[in-house]
Amino acid sequence: GDSVTQMEGPVTLSEEAFLTINCTYTATGYPSLFWYVQYPGEGLQLLLKATKADDKGSNKGFEATYRKETTSFHLEKGSVQVSDSAVYFCALGPTSTGNQFYFGTGTSLTVIP
């Protein structure tokens, strides 16, 4: 079945460091791919998305490219800030015939000054 495998955490980086969080997926059909972010004590918020192969989603300096050949959707940011400290979830969206999302296990990021 459909699934998402996400890089284990936690990840601790210094401010202005480069961030990569790996995400790979298994899917039937051609689902959209997402990164959601969860700040402490809050629900998940959509960070970025890509709806088809080779699409690049971007928001707030974060980027991820939908790679069909490697079934990956890695999250990157060139220079992290303390305010980026949160838990990041990779997610697989529903296909044209389904209604269910599949979430990765989440990666906790802490950015230290």
Partner 1 sequence: NAGVTQTPKFRVLKTGQSMTLLCAQDMNHEYMYWYRQDPGMGLRLIHYSVGEGTTAKGEVPDGYNVSRLKKQNFLLGLESAAPSQTSVYFCATGQQLAKNIQYFGAGTRLSVL
Task: Give the interface with partner 1 as residue ranges (CB under 8 A).
Answer: 4, 6, 32, 34, 36, 41-46, 49, 51, 89, 93-94, 99-101, 103-106
Q: Which two tokens stand for residue 9?
A: 């955490």
Q: Smallest distance, Å, CB 6 to partner 1?
A: 8
Nearer to partner 1, 14 or 28 (CB): 28
104/82 Cα distance (integer angstroms) = 23
Q: Smallest distance, Å, CB 44 to partner 1?
A: 5
Q: Smallest distance, Å, CB 83 to partner 1?
A: 19
Q: Smallest distance, Å, CB 33 to partner 1?
A: 10
Nearer to partner 1, 17 or 72 (CB): 72
Query: Among candidates 58, 113, 57, 42, which has minimal Cα distance to 80?
Result: 113
Distance set, CA 94 to CA 28, 29, 30, 58 (Å): 10, 9, 9, 20
Nearer to partner 1, 63 or 103 (CB): 103
Nearer to partner 1, 17 or 103 (CB): 103
Contact 86, 77 (CB under 8 A): no
**Cross-strand partners of 83:** none
In whole angstroms, how large is the CA radius of gyration of the chain?
14
